[in-house]
């Protein structure tokens, strides 16, 4: 299937079939997509809370008391992911990534590793000094959300991203603030219900000439 056809077929699922469950091997590919997504200077400033259990979904639904219309999209989905972003990045976070890069063979010598360390420290330091580090981490996490939605479409999984969630309630439920994290956006994954009204509606996007400038 060509990419354009996949993108045309992908849509935000409004109603899931609760009887359909994503196979374990397929879901593992989705978790791989979360882990392998791109981020600036390979920072990976994110964390994911994943559930496929009824108990876990009930905890996720603590974030929908003000957004009741989103609760069924959690309860009836096969899997639900809460995307979280770091609220701070310290030297230990940088070294964890740097050491993993070294173990994975990205540095041919210690000098290259030191250069990478200086780049990371300089970049994070500039963001921190500007007071924009958390905002930047959230933007990186949204890159991951986009990657996840495309990955789901490639795997023929339906999905819906939800910003209609109570961030404070979810931060409390999962004790995220003490972990240096904040909830950001939730995505439900599964398979559409036969009577999902949004499935049959035509996709509507602005034409290329309205949003693309070729120079």
Burial of 129 (0-12, 13-18, 19+ CB in 10 A): exposed
pLDDT band at 115 (very low <50, low <70, confident <90, very high): very high
**Considering only CA atoms, which of 215, 143, 189 is closest in space to residue 10?**
189
* Identified catalytic residue from 15, 73, 86, 120: 73
Residue 100 is a catalytic residue: no
Q: Is the pLDDT of residue 70 over 90?
A: yes
Residue 209 is a catalytic residue: no
- The model's pLDDT over 168-210, given as tens digits with 9 standing for 90+, comes to 999 999 999 999 999 999 999 999 999 999 999 999 999 999 9
**pTM here?**
0.96
Predicted pLDDT of residue 1: 66
Predicted pLDDT of residue 3: 95
Packed helices 91-103 and 110-129: angle between N→C axes, nearest 10 degrees: 150
Alpha-carbon distances, residue 190 vs 117, 149, 155, 209, 213 (angstroms): 40, 12, 11, 34, 36
Written in H, E and C, the secondary structure of 14-45 is CCECCCCCCCHHHHHHHHHHHHHCCCHHHCCC
* Identified catalytic residue from 14, 15, 86, 120: 14
Residue 73 is a catalytic residue: yes
């Amino acid at each position: 299937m060509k990419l354009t056809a996949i993108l045309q077929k992908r849509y935000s699922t409004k109603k899931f079939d609760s009887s359909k469950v994503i196979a374990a091997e397929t879901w593992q590919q989705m978790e791989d997509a979360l882990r392998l997504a791109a981020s600036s200077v390979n920072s990976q400033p994110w964390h994911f809370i994943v559930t496929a259990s009824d108990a876990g979904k009930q905890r996720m639904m603590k974030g929908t008391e003000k957004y009741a219309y989103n609760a069924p999209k959690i309860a009836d989905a096969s899997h639900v992911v809460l995307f979280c972003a770091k609220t701070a990045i310290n030297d230990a976070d940088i070294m964890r990534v740097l050491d993993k890069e070294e173990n994975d063979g990205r540095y041919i010598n210690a000098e290259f590793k030191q250069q990478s360390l200086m780049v990371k420290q300089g970049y994070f330091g500039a963001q921190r000094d500007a007071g924009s580090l958390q905002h930047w981490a959230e933007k990186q996490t949204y890159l991951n959300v986009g990657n996840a939605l495309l990955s789901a479409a490639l795997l023929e999984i339906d999905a819906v991203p939800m910003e209609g969630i109570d961030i404070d309630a979810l931060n409390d439920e999962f004790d995220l603030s003490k972990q240096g994290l904040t909830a950001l956006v939730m995505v439900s994954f599964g398979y559409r219900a036969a009577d999902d009204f949004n499935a049959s509606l035509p996709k509507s996007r602005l034409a290329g000439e309205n949003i693309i400038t070729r120079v």
